[in-house]
Amino acid sequence: MKRFVSILLLIMMAFALCSLSAALAERVTESELIGAWQFVGGGELMGFGFRLNADGTGQSLDSEDMEHCPPKHLHETGDRFTWQLDGDSFICRNSQGTVERFTLEQADTRILFTEEEAGGFYARFDEEAIRAEIEDRMGRGEMREFDALVMDYLNDILEPTLAERLNLRDVNARVDWYSEEKSVVVDAWQLDEDDAVTIRFTESDLTVTIGAAESKWTSGGGIGRDLTAHAYYQTASAALGNVREELAEQQRLTGEVNPTGREPQPGEAAIMAEIEQKRADGTADAFDRLAMDAMDGTMTARLEAMGLTGVSTRLNWEGPLHFILAWGRDAETHFRVALRFTPCAIGVCVGDEVGDVTQIPVSWYENYLRTPEVEIYENAYRLIQSELALASQQQQTRFSMPGLTGYVGQFPKGKTYEVYRGPGKEYGRSANGKASVSTNGTIMIYGVRGDWMLISYGISGGHTRYGWISTSGLPASMFEYCPELIFPGDDGTEYVYATVREACRMVDMLASDRDFIYPLQPGDSVHCLAEMNGWVLVETYAYEEPYWGFVRWEALDSRHGYAFTMKTIEPSSVWSEEEIRAAMQAVADAYTGRASGHTLISLRYSDEDNSQQNWPTDVPEGIEWMKLYGTARSISYYDFEIAGSDGTAEDLAFYVWREPGGEWIGGMGGYE
């Protein structure tokens, strides 16, 4: 019954143990345990959920919902057990006779199972009973707006709706149905800011909190038959706007440049004292002044003057390597921009998402000891503008392919479909092989391909999962207006290939790569199938397995079929290393942009490879030749079975030639 405990849940456990330790005093009685319970944090000592009956029997509950915490849609697994209380001990005996004993305590409205140093919290939650209660009130014309909000939660509508209407990300909700005051609590992050947002809905009001700012509004309370939660969503949007205005006003009154008010970070007081001492000694340099700018808000103000919004800064002063991080969003293009200042260099990264800002590569060097501080900002501005121009150019020259357009599907209610990562069972399923979609929620349709339909549906955290379901058993009326998906390469059309520019992951959740499909490395090749909102649906092969998923378009480069990434040069008695490197570069130049869908991974030279040269017989006298071997990885190699089934071709022969003293000219000799 013990299940895998994720890092996220361990963190929640630590937090819960600290915040609730004072409440663990009351002893639980058997009558208080009757009913269904769901896991809400810590270690899953009793699984994702369970049901305890008055006769001392119980059933284990499981869920395919791997995205929410607490998990939704619990169902019986068929596992039975018996249970009893012995003082503070909960004794459980499964059908195989195995006995487990946990210490059981009350934690406000929750119960806590503990075993040595591990513990798991569970809250009473019976989805079927809640649905039945709300539907009964609906039938009697006494449904409340709060009931509609809870039904949205149960139907996986609440999180994606709040994410879209309130411009939030990583939305996760939980329902407390059994407290004296029922509530729905939502935790999320602002989309363009690094600020946590908490929204608490009750039957009569809602409260929105960002940091120390809070706004409480009256909402709900309506009674009727066909109510919706629209009033709650509308009021939440207004309340969130009010909090944001309050934070902006605090900025204006206090002169703080960061809308959330930049709080000193741990260790910054010591950093300031260290720099002040260096100033007094006359040894402070421009990097020290940059650090002070980051801590007092000056850097934020300067970057905002460069056109960035939502700027945040952070210092790393641990160990011998000190650096300053700054990130925000360009107001004009809406690209994310991140900068990394070190004592000798600046790194800039631009894109829809910039990833781990601590790993930004250096793109410009400067000796801060002799550079006026104002010039450092000017150089940073030039770097930002250069990277923005490049990103915009790549966006404008995006390769052409079909677009995906969705519409709300009218599915039969009460059905559940297995969701696959591609148009076939061979592609597998996400969520640890359990990805499914219920027709009780909203499902978007994008088209059909053979016997498979491309759909999307909302999951936890405000995310949307894309996948394929079998069309078998769907009513014929659903296909009347459903488009057929035609991708490049179908019906004799030309394939669209691209080379991966930077390490990325193929995903089926566009805003998250936590449950990624397949990792791609620079130089990998993909078939490009369709695009949607800055994402490209791609196909690749590895180890005889096909993979389909979405990749951010800026991670791809359709203009270069070959990426010259590695080279091996053995000492030669014939050529100098400089001449061999020039020959290798000639091969890379010759195939750049001309061999779409191919990726040159490596080239190698050895005198032995050149000892048996089968040169063409009609070569003009005096022409110099060199033979190189390469390893190439390509989808087209897989398609045409040129080499290994994982798409890798080894021992590709490349010939280069030149007139004595001239430049090398590259060509491909064939697969050997």
Token digits of residue 618: 């009609």
Looking at the structure, tell me whether residues 224 and 275 fall in a common domain.
no
Distance between first and last Cα of the chain: 55
What is the model's pLDDT at position 359? 40
Token digits of residue 13: 């456990």
Looking at the structure, tell me whether residues 147 and 191 fall in a common domain.
yes
CA 423 remoteness from chain centre? 23
Looking at the structure, tell me whether residues 182 and 274 fall in a common domain.
no
70 with 77: CB under 8 angstroms?
no
Looking at the structure, tell me whether residues 134 and 119 fall in a common domain.
no
Tell me the Cα Rg of the chain.
30
CA 548 remoteness from chain centre? 17
Distance CA 393, CA 285 (A): 37
What is the model's pLDDT at position 452? 95
Looking at the structure, tell me whether residues 116 and 136 fall in a common domain.
no
45 located within any domain: yes
Distance CA 668, CA 587 (A): 8
37 located within any domain: yes
Looking at the structure, tell me whether residues 586 and 612 fall in a common domain.
yes
Token digits of residue 243: 């909090």
246 located within any domain: yes
What is the model's pLDDT at position 612? 57
**Which one, of 545, 72, 343, lies nearest residue 62 by Cα?**
72
207 located within any domain: yes
Phi, psi of 233 (to 5 degrees): -65, -40
- Model-level pTM? 0.39
Q: Please tell me the total count of domains within the chain.
A: 4
Of 186-195, 395-404, 425-434, 630-639, the range with the lowest mean pLDDT is 630-639
Residue range of the domain that includes 101: 7-125
284 located within any domain: yes
Kindly indicate the confidence band of residue 554, based on its pLDDT and cuts at 50, 70 and 90: confident
Burial class of residue 431 in the structure, from the number of CB atoms within 10 Å of its CB (0-12 exposed, 13-18 middle, 19+ buried): middle
Mean pLDDT computed over every residue of the chain: 75
Domain boundary among 80, 97, 125: 125
Give the model confidence (pLDDT) of 346-370 as tens digits.
Answer: 777 776 544 434 444 433 334 443 4
What is the model's pLDDT at position 625? 83
Looking at the structure, tell me whether residues 275 and 249 fall in a common domain.
no
Looking at the structure, tell me whether residues 141 and 237 fall in a common domain.
yes
**Which residue in the block uniquely carries the two structure tokens 């490596």?**
602
Looking at the structure, tell me whether residues 81 and 132 fall in a common domain.
no
Looking at the structure, tell me whether residues 250 and 181 fall in a common domain.
yes
- DSSP class of residue 4 equals -
- Name which residue leads in pLDDT, 343 or 583: 583
Looking at the structure, tell me whether residues 204 and 247 fall in a common domain.
yes
* DSSP symbols for 560-596: -S----EEEE---SSS-HHHHHHHHHHHHHHHTTTST
Question: Per-residue pLDDT averaged across 91-96, rounded?
Answer: 87
Domain boundary among 104, 125, 146: 125
Looking at the structure, tell me whether residues 277 and 363 fall in a common domain.
yes
User: Residue 531, SS3?
Assistant: strand
Distance CA 266, CA 250 (A): 23
User: Which CATH number covers residue 73?
Assistant: 2.40.128.370
Domain boundary among 125, 141, 168: 125
